[in-house]
Homo-oligomer: A and B are copies of this chain.
Amino acid sequence: MELYGYWRSSASYRVRIALKYKQLEYNYIPVHLIKDGGEQHKQSYRQLNPNGLVPTFVDGTVILHQSLAIMEYLDETYPHPSLLPGTAQQRGAIRAISLDIASELQPLINLRVQQYLMRELNLVDEQKQAWLQHWFRHSFTALERNLEEVAGNYCVGNQFSMADVCLVPQVYSAERFGIDLTPYPLLRSVYGRLSELPWVAAAHPSKQPDAEN
């Protein structure tokens, strides 16, 4: 198995957590998102991933992009331990939180959007910061309310799941961008608990071979 990723990319971080949770061995192939205009835009990488985004996951002849699609594939192919435990209703709650993070928040704050805001719209740094703050606040406020309904020790009840896999990198990214987490006590307590899990700790950006200072 091969994972093409970048140490600080949230979507790469998600797949690392999932692979480590399932104790699957993989080769990690760094794709530098900034150096030389971004290795993700090179023709050789685009053949694996037409979007020019990380991660890409390879399992024999299977080549997959999109972190949630990769995790669903992993869960179908290597089912234990499960990233989607429980009933259809619980799995629905897990997927809804995962998508709230991966498909409502992260796409608005990722590198390519920040680059567009700065280069094409010539935003000043305060405006970019306000953009980031706005979408984090909007999403985390909704997430906190959602967690009040469904969280136990983890995002959905007391079993680790794909929702937790999605939460961890997003909180890491919030901290990088200086987002105030005080208004989200439940999110913070779940995150604190998650951070101590060995498969989460081992997937941390700072532990990856391409980590920079």
Residues on B with beta carbons closer than 8 Å to the beta carbon of A50: 141-143, 145-146
Contact B107 A103 (CB under 8 A): yes
Taking CB atoms and an 8 Å cut-off, the chain A residues in 76-130 that contact chain B are: 76-77, 88-89, 91-93, 95-96, 98-100, 102-104, 107-108, 113, 116, 120-121, 123, 127, 130
Copies of this chain in its oligomeric complex: 2
Contact A69 B89 (CB under 8 A): no
The dominant DSSP class at the A interface is helix
Assess whether A64 is interfacial by the CB under 8 Å rule: yes
Assess whether A68 is interfacial by the CB under 8 Å rule: yes
A116 CA / B62 CA spacing, docked (Å): 39
**Residue on B nearest A68 in the bound complex, by CB:** B99
Contact B121 A95 (CB under 8 A): no
Q: When the two chains form the complex, which single residue of B46, B64, B96 contacts A69, counting CB atoms closer than 8 Å?
A: B96
A66 CA / B28 CA spacing, docked (Å): 31
Contact A103 B134 (CB under 8 A): no
Assess whether A65 is interfacial by the CB under 8 Å rule: yes
Contact A69 B146 (CB under 8 A): no
Assess whether A51 is interfacial by the CB under 8 Å rule: yes
Complex A-B: 12 CB contacts under 8 Å: A64-B92, A66-B95, A66-B100, A66-B103, A68-B95, A73-B88, A73-B95, A76-B88, A77-B88, A107-B108, A116-B131, A120-B134
Q: Which A positions have Cβ atoms within 8 angstroms of B?
A: 46, 50-53, 61-62, 64-66, 68-70, 72-73, 76-77, 88-89, 91-93, 95-96, 98-100, 102-104, 107-108, 113, 116, 120-121, 123, 127, 130-131, 134, 139, 141-143, 145-146
Name the 10 nearest CB pairs between A and B, nearest first. Answer: A103-B103, A69-B95, A50-B142, A66-B99, A50-B145, A73-B92, A69-B96, A107-B107, A66-B96, A51-B142
